[in-house]
A and B are shown apart, each in its own frame.
Chain A
Amino acid sequence: MGLFENLATAAPELFTIKTMILMMVGTMAGLIAGAIPGFTIAMAVVLVLPFTFSMTPVEGLATMIAVYVGGLSGGLMSGILTGIPGTPSSVATTFDGYPMARSGKPGLALGIGVWASFFGGVIASVVLMIVAPQLALIGLEFQPVDYFSLILFALTVTASMAGDQILKGLMAALLGLLISTVGSDVVFGLPRFTFGVDAAAQGFAFLPVLVGLFAFSRLLGDVRTSEKAHQRLGGEEAHAVHIDYLGSAREVLRRWGNVIRSSLIGVFVGVLPAAGSTISNILAYDQAKKTSKESDKFGTGAIDGIIAPEAANNATAGGALIVMMALGLPGDIMTAIMLGALLIHDVIPSPSFITDEPQIAYSIFLAFFVANFMMLFMQSFTLRAFVLVTKVKMYMLTAVILFYCSVGIFSLNNITYDMWTLFIFGIIGFVIRALGFPIVPMVLGVVLGGIAEARLSQVFARSDDILVFISRPWSLFFLLLGCFSLLFPYYQKQAKTAVWARFFVPALLIVQSIPVLMMPGIVRPSVAIIMAVTGLVMAAYRLKFRGDPPATERSKQTS
Chain B
Amino acid sequence: MSLNRDALVAVFFLLLCAVMFIASMNLPEAMFGQMSPALWPRIILVPLTLLSALLLVQSQRVPVEEGAASKKTLAGWWEHNKNPIICFALFFLFLITMPIAGMLLGGLVYVFLTLCVLGGWEPRKLALHAAISLVFVVGMWAIFTQLLGVLLPEGEILRVY
In the complex, which residues of chain A have a beta carbon less than 8 angstroms from the beta carbon of B73?
none
Contact, CB under 8 Å: B83 / A225: yes
Which residues of B are found within 8 Å of A514, using beta-carbon distances? none
Answer whether residue B40 sits at the interface, using C-beta atoms and an 8 A cutoff.
yes
Quick one: closest A residue to B47, CB to CB?
A174
The interface residues of chain B lying within 8 Å CB-to-CB of A452 are: 40
Asked whether any CB of chain A lies closer than 8 Å to the CB of B132, the reply is yes
* A458: nearest chain-B partner, CB-CB: B35
CB neighbors of A among B106-161 (8 A): 107, 110-111, 114-115, 118-119, 132, 136-137, 140-141, 144, 148-153
Which of A220, A419, A453 is in CB contact (< 8 Å) with B87? Answer: A220
Judge whether A229 is part of the interface by a CB distance below 8 angstroms. Answer: yes
Contacts of B9 in A (CB 8 A): 435
Known A-B contacts A403-B136, A407-B103; A178 and B87 likewise in contact (beta carbons under 8 Å): no
Q: What residues of A have a CB within 8 angstroms of the CB of B153 in the complex?
A: 410, 416
A193 at the interface (CB under 8 A from B): yes
User: Across the interface, which residues of B come within 8 angstroms of A461, CB to CB?
Assistant: 33-35
A460, B44: Cβ atoms closer than 8 Å: no
Per the bound structure, the CA–CA distance linking A221 and B88 in Å amounts to 12
> Does A395 contact B5, Cβ atoms closer than 8 Å?
no
Contact A223 B51 (CB under 8 A): no
Chain B proximity of A417: nearest CB distance (Å): 10
Query: Contact partner of B111 among A53, A174, A192, A403, CB < 8 A?
Result: A403
Most buried by A among B41, B48, B115, B148: B41
Decide: A399 and B37 in contact? CB cutoff 8 A.
Answer: no
Across the interface, do B34 and A188 meet the contact criterion of CB distance under 8 Å? yes
Is the C-beta of A423 less than 8 angstroms from some C-beta in chain B?
yes
A515 to B34, CA, bound (A): 29
Whether A406 is near chain B, meaning CB under 8 Å from some CB there, is: yes
- Interfacial residues of chain A within 457-499, with CB under 8 A of chain B in the complex: 457, 460-461
Bound Cα distance A505, B132 (Å): 57
- Asked whether B45 is an interface residue with its Cβ less than 8 Å from the other chain, the reply is yes
Interface residues of B (CB under 8 A from A): 5-6, 9, 13, 20, 23-24, 27-28, 31, 33-35, 37, 39-41, 43-45, 47-48, 51-52, 54-55, 58, 80-81, 83-84, 87-88, 91-92, 94-95, 98, 103, 107, 110-111, 114-115, 118-119, 132, 136-137, 140-141, 144, 148-153
Q: A193-B23, A456-B39 are in contact. List 14 more A-B contacts (CB 8 A).
A: A50-B144, A171-B55, A178-B48, A181-B44, A185-B27, A225-B80, A226-B83, A393-B119, A398-B114, A398-B118, A399-B114, A400-B136, A423-B92, A426-B91
18 A-B contacts (beta carbon < 8 Å): A170-B51, A171-B13, A174-B44, A174-B47, A192-B41, A220-B84, A225-B80, A229-B83, A229-B119, A399-B115, A400-B136, A402-B87, A411-B144, A419-B95, A423-B88, A423-B92, A423-B95, A457-B34
